[in-house]
Structure 1
């Protein structure tokens, strides 16, 4: 019998951790019918647990008919048809078209035998704490988008409660979380720098670059802006950062805009049309995150984007394959006529 993960510091009662761990081992094929498991005393000594705690767990497993006791011989696995589908708690920071792409690909790749419970934490540390603490021990995997901008140490403390083999960080990895957890992440600062570098020949025809910081309730990672600023300094571009685009925002020929939010993109297109500024000639536009609409709008909007569908597929495969890798998701430039 492989060692089980028992966390005595967890808020989940230890006896339930024993029950869940043995049932999961049966479900995963690590424990087979008629295979003997340690006695109560042996289990207690191996994991430094009280005999009463192990006895309580074994009693529940007997009631579920997962194990049976044979007098004078010990405890054996009895049932292997344990109806225990994989349960995944999926925590997004917000809902958007891009998050929907990730979710749909994630659920489709996992297949019908997996239960996925989606919640939104809105970058709210208190809400996130509640979602984790109230659900510890109830799921086999915890897939978290760790986009938070306050109380970073508190966030790390909350996440560290999750057993590392059950944790998958999505969209962003956290250097403060060590151990063998899985991650499918973007490197926001490096990604935008490299994508803009690929667009350098087209960007050089503009005199200045403008980063449009989205004025949204739930912020975007600040590393995106930092990567833009670093690119401009390294390649001697005049640059500025503005908070959103209103219909009254002044736009001049010779400017190229890097736009995050689609509302700002629409307003920018309207301003250019009203002022006779040809997009792709007088004014350049680079939009963040690919959508089908950007492929056809104005004969094509240049995009820098991660592959959201691939992120969902990769995360699901890692769960199914029990992988603890840390995989950087693809990010690329799609050059179109708007630049």
Structure 2
């Protein structure tokens, strides 16, 4: 016998949990047309809740045409209802690269789902409000769990744990400390930058120093910093880490690694003033590709944003609860 799943700790009223659970399972195909539901007494006893709670949920389901009652026989699923999945996307920001993920995800889903997009802006309280207002209303919650450096990790992990594992999808970053089963398509920021730089040792060896421009207010994953530092220590490279290029005078024999587009622009201005040519006096590596970087022949290191969206959508549609590391690679150009 089918029984909807509800949570005793969830703030959503139990009748609404029953209502949404049955609607979700109809949409997912778990419940089929004409399938019999538990009686009010049976469901009340199974879930340890009052009859009036079950009765209210069933009454609303009848009103929406989801179930029908046959006197003397019970309650049955009236039809398959809406077949489109409801998905809530919660991104940390909407950059040009996040848009690539979004449109790739949307295109891969096609007409099988409807999406609502929210932005938490690295703010745990904003994230909490989004989830609490929408918990129980969607089939899947696709989250980018990037938060400010001083964010309360216990709090945002608690919020993530409030989402059932079978409904949770983490994008761009994994959180193994959640200790639960869920779908994730992620970057391993620390290993990715280490491996990318390692793959370019033949080019890096002609330079005497590596400098990473890592903005303190950019909310970028600290793992990038850790991976860069670890690479330099492992290969005995002289290195430095700057917040920006405001006070920096580019030095011959230095490779500059930029994350933000504005820092890359500032670097090119300074090189022009010094009459330096990228790939000769200095080297340049930039995160993530753009048409302009290709025109300027800037060496880049990047994940495949389009593949991330496609992979997440395909795994979701196939109801997989696995973790997939997204590809990360270097495109060599003349700036190195």
Counterpart mapping for 1:58-73 below 5 A:
58-73=58-73
- 1:65 Cα deviation (Å)? 2.4
Q: Which residue of 2 aligns with 1:240?
A: 240
| Aligned: 1:79 with 2:79 | yes
- 8 Å contact 1:288–1:303 — kept in the other structure? yes
| Aligned: 1:315 with 2:312 | yes
Q: Which residue of 2 aligns with 1:118?
A: 117
Q: Which residue of 2 aligns with 1:324?
A: 321
RMSD across aligned positions (CA)? 1.5
Partner-residue secondary structure (3-state), 1:118:
strand
Q: Deviations over 1:221-242 (max 9, x none)?
A: 1110110010000001000001
Q: Give the TM-score of the pair, scaled to structure 2.
A: 0.95
| Aligned: 1:28 with 2:28 | yes
Q: Which residue of 2 aligns with 1:152?
A: 153
| Aligned: 1:190 with 2:191 | yes
Counterpart mapping for 1:273-284 below 5 A:
273-284=272-283
- 8 Å contact 1:188–1:224 — kept in the other structure? yes
Partner-residue secondary structure (3-state), 2:134:
coil
When the two structures are aligned, how many residues end up with a matched partner? 334
Q: Deviations over 1:264-307 (max 9, x none)?
A: 1111112112111121011000111122322221xx21111111
- 1:174 Cα deviation (Å)? 1.0
- 1:119 Cα deviation (Å)? 1.4
Q: Deviations over 1:314-339 (max 9, x none)?
A: 11112211111111111111111110
- 8 Å contact 1:170–1:185 — kept in the other structure? yes
- 1:146 Cα deviation (Å)? 0.7
- 8 Å contact 2:304–2:327 — kept in the other structure? yes
- 1:198 Cα deviation (Å)? 0.2
Counterpart mapping for 1:137-148 below 5 A:
137-148=136-147
Give the distance between the partners of 1:180 and 1:234, measured in 2 at CA. 34
Deviates more, 1:94-103 or 1:60-69: 60-69
- 8 Å contact 1:11–1:136 — kept in the other structure? no
List structure 1 runs of 4+ shifted beyond 6 angstroms.
Answer: none
Partner-residue secondary structure (3-state), 1:94:
coil
| Aligned: 1:50 with 2:45 | no
Question: Which structure 1 segments of 5+ residues have no match?
Answer: none
